[in-house]
Amino acid sequence: MASVTVQPSIPTALGDGGGRARSVASAARLQGWLRRLPVLPALVYVILVTQVPFLLTIFYSLQNWNLLSVAPARFIGLQNYLDVLNDATIRIAIWNTIVLTVCAVAISVALGIGIAVLLNREIFGKGILRTLMIGPFLVMPTAAALMWKDTLLNPLTGFVNYLLTPIGLGTFDFINRFPMASIVGIEVWRWTPFMMLIVLAGLQSQNQEVLEAARVDGARALQMFRYITLPFIRPFIELGALLGSLFIVQSFDTIFMTTQGGPGQATTNLPFKLYLEAFQAFDIGKASAIGVLAVILTMIVATFALRTLFTIFQVETRR
Amino acid sequence: MSVLAARPGRGRARISKAAWSALAWAIAIVFFFPVLWMALEGLKTEVQAASIPPTIFFTPTLTALQEVLSRDFPPYLINSASATIGSTLLVLLLGLPAAYALSIRPVKRTRDVLFFLISTRFLPFAASLVPLYILARDLHLLDNILVLVIIYTTINLPLGIWLLRSFMLELPHELIEAARVDGASMRHELINIVLPLIMPGIAATSLICLIFSWNEFFYAVNFTTTIAATSPIFLVGFISGRGLFYAKLAAAATLASLPVLLAGWIAQKQLIRGLTMGAVK
């Protein structure tokens, strides 16, 4: 808007000589900065706390530096990356991250869709049901993880074990025998409500007349879901899945509280490995190299997530 | 059967409604049970909480809650509150003007700025963790609430800006035009016209800040030890706690979860919108 009002005056300014043209131009520039002013503090803040440290991470990753050793930091080129890539424990951590993320997201999306469809039907007590369903997502993850470990899946006193006594699993140690499945289970319990909320919002924004017309035309419920509802809620499902993966890829709380990455390395994911390298081994160089690799892995996921977000926002503005 | 035959359509509809309702309730109860169990365990005596088989019927007692609250839990709760409130205020302070300049008076390359901001939210904490730790150590900010406020603001600011912007985009254009014709300055426009109208947006943003700051664990466990430790850190003390501490654990877990649970339940409408940065309404 500002540029439109300034432009016509430029030819006359040129006729009058350079002085006024310069002042008009600088006024326009000032105007531009004034417009930008409100966004600058936030932008500078984010750059200072995320981008500058990231550059430092790259810098540290090229150094041999351990906080526990008295030796000063020393430039060693790509040695940390070679170490990291040759480290079998890190390959396991990457694999565990992928398994945990893919399983937890896939299962919670599937369950979330099912429950959302159910809650979108004519049923009793919808509001209360939704309120109960989002409980798991709101409970503090560290608190929930401890409750699962100590009072639900505890082989001695756990309630789930108690319920499963008739089928002989009364003293079965789920977390030790199936550590990854247990972590996936807890994450699914936590993220299904999140997926359900997003899909339910999608279902509720669906045009009922289209469904009614299809019903009049004799479409069966399953057909309608497959060919009308599912395409409509697809962007919502994608959004849920992608946001969910970005969060679950970073999961740390549940693992820290229940298994501490074990037994052995069975549940050590990349964030937990990073924690071990940075805050148990204090190997700054190696931890930074893991950090850079984690960024590259996340960027691949995030690119898709952002693209989806933007398609949804474009649909919004077109409306 | 005879009833069904008499009124086939309505009778069947009612039965199917009852059946679907029953299924929905069963699923919801399964999901909610761990939350309920946490609260129940917190109302038991230690002996009841660790009994084999689990105690289901009991007279509730507030002993565990009182014990947790009278011992060393309150400072952790206060730290959580300080970090959460501090970072939420900072997010609003930085986020409101930014969202305004990205919606109502959009700057050039608005899209790029938005894209950049949100990409920082999904940068893994691994990206900046080590330098932030070294920096905090050198500035003697380890175990200081300030470092958590700074980090939680970074976590929530991009979400906050996107969310506030989505609310600002919905404001009627005529209103702002009218103010502009009257010669309102940018500051006046933001504070006196936009701000009162986007209170739901501010509520949604505060809710998201509350959820992510209050429940945050990774930075809290690595950047604080005792003085600035937040409530999830208090729970860490129970990890190795063998023995009869389940009631106290559950009481502390319930207390720690309560603020976010209540806020999320009260503001369910804002929750979805907040979690998806305004994309889903």
Question: pLDDT (tens digit, 9 = 90+) per residue, B7-34?
Answer: 556 677 788 888 899 999 999 999 999 9
Instruction: Evaluate whether residue B280 is within a structural domain.
Output: no
Selected residue of B10, B14, B30, B31 to mutate for chain A interface (largest A Cβ count, 10 A): B31
Residues B119 and B238 in one domain: yes
DSSP 8-state secondary structure symbol assigned to residue A64:
E
Residues B51 and B152 in one domain: no
Residues B188 and B256 in one domain: yes
B50 Cα to chain A: minimum distance (Å): 6
Break chain A into its structural domains and give their ranges: 2-60, 79-318
> Which of B50, B154, B257 is the closest to A157 by Cβ?
B50
For chain A, give the number of residues. Answer: 319
Provide DSSP, A68-96.
TSSSPPEE-TTHHHHHHHH-HHHHHHHHH
Distance CA A243, CA A222 (A): 28
Residues B126 and B225 in one domain: yes
Residue A262 pLDDT? 79
* Chain B, nearest residue to A284 by Cα: B130
- Interface A-B, measured as beta-carbon pairs within 8 A, has a size of 302
Instruction: Evaluate whether residue B129 is within a structural domain.
Output: yes
B247 Cα to chain A: minimum distance (Å): 10
At which of B47, B63, B79 does a domain end?
A: B63
Residue B115 pLDDT? 82
Calculate the CA dihedral of residues A246, A250, A252, A258 and round it to 10 degrees.
Answer: 50
Query: Does B187 contact chain A (CB < 8 Å)?
Result: no
- Sort residue B143 into left (φ over 0), alpha (ψ -120 to 50) or beta: left
Tell me the CATH architecture of domain A79-318: Orthogonal Bundle (1.10)
Q: What is the CATH number of the domain that holds B76?
A: 1.10.3720.10
Residues B55 and B154 in one domain: no
**Looking at the predicted structure, is the pLDDT value of residue B189 above 50?**
yes
Interchain pair B94, A41: CB under 8 A:
yes
Residue A178 pLDDT? 92
Interchain pair A291, B126: CB under 8 A:
yes
Query: Does B128 contact chain A (CB < 8 Å)?
Result: yes
Tell me if residue A59 falls in helix, strand or coil.
Answer: helix
Residue B195 pLDDT? 87
* Domain assignment of residue B12, given as a range: 2-63
**Mean pLDDT for the stretch of residues B139-153:** 92
pLDDT tens track for B118-136: 888 877 788 888 899 989 9
The residue among B240 and B54 whose pLDDT is bigger is B54
> Which of B129, B131, B169 is the closest to A274 by Cβ?
B129
Residues B210 and B71 in one domain: yes
> Which of A34, A142, A274 is the closest to B232 by Cβ?
A142
Selected residue of A35, A64, A130, A132 to mutate for chain B interface (largest B Cβ count, 10 A): A132
**Mean pLDDT for the stretch of residues B234-256:** 83
Instruction: Evaluate whether residue B266 is within a structural domain.
Output: yes
Instruction: Evaluate whether residue B75 is within a structural domain.
Output: yes
Query: Does B54 contact chain A (CB < 8 Å)?
Result: yes
Residues B158 and B173 in one domain: yes
Interchain pair B34, A144: CB under 8 A:
yes
B239 Cα to chain A: minimum distance (Å): 6
| Secondary structure, 3-state, chain B | CHHHHHCHHHHHHHHHHHHHHHHHHHHHHHHHHHHHHHHHHHCCCHHHHCCCCCCCCCCCCCHHHHHHHHCCHHHHHHHHHHHHHHHHHHHHHHHHHHHHHCCCCCCCCHHHHHHHHHHHHCCCHHHCHHHHHHHHHHCCCCCCHHHHHHHHHHHHHHHHHHHHHHHHCCCCHHHHHHHHHCCCCHHHHHHHHHHHHCHHHHHHHHHHHHHHHHCCCHHHHHHCCCCCCCHHHHHHCCCCCCCCCHHHHHHHHHHHHHHHHHHHHHCHHHHHHHHCCCCCC
Interchain pair B217, A252: CB under 8 A:
yes
Residue B243 pLDDT? 59
**pLDDT per 10-residue tile (average), chain A, 319 residues:** 34 47 76 83 91 90 83 81 88 91 94 94 89 94 92 86 84 88 96 94 87 84 86 88 87 92 88 89 88 84 69 55
Residues B55 and B181 in one domain: no
The model's confidence at residue B183, banded by pLDDT at 50, 70 and 90, is confident
Residue A291: is it exposed, middle or buried by C-beta count within 10 angstroms (0-12/13-18/19+)?
buried
Q: Which of A279-293, B148-162, B165-179 has the highest mean pLDDT?
A: B148-162
Instruction: Evaluate whether residue B281 is within a structural domain.
Output: no
Selected residue of A1, A151, A171 to mutate for chain B interface (largest B Cβ count, 10 A): A151
| B contact residues 247-266, partner A, Cβ 8 Å cutoff | 249-250, 252-254, 256-257, 260-261, 264-265
ipTM above 0.85, yes or no: yes
Distance CA A67, CA A283 (A): 7
> Which of A129, A198, A201 is the closest to B28 by Cβ?
A129
Contact between A25 and A35 under an 8 Å Cβ cutoff? The reply is no
* Chain A, nearest residue to B273 by Cα: A198
> Which of A39, A150, A287 is the closest to B130 by Cβ?
A287
At which of B22, B42, B63 does a domain end?
A: B63
Instruction: Evaluate whether residue B150 is within a structural domain.
Output: yes
At which of B63, B94, B115 does a domain end?
A: B63
> Which of A42, A151, A189 is the closest to B98 by Cβ?
A42
Residues B51 and B167 in one domain: no
Interchain pair A38, B27: CB under 8 A:
no
Q: How many CA atoms lie within 13 A of B168 on its CB side?
A: 27
Please, which residues bridge with residue A75 across strands? A63
A14 Cα to chain B: minimum distance (Å): 26
How many domains is chain B partitioned into structurally? 2
Residues B53 and B26 in one domain: yes
Residues B170 and B240 in one domain: yes
Residues B29 and B109 in one domain: no
pLDDT tens track for B200-228: 899 999 999 999 999 999 999 999 888 88
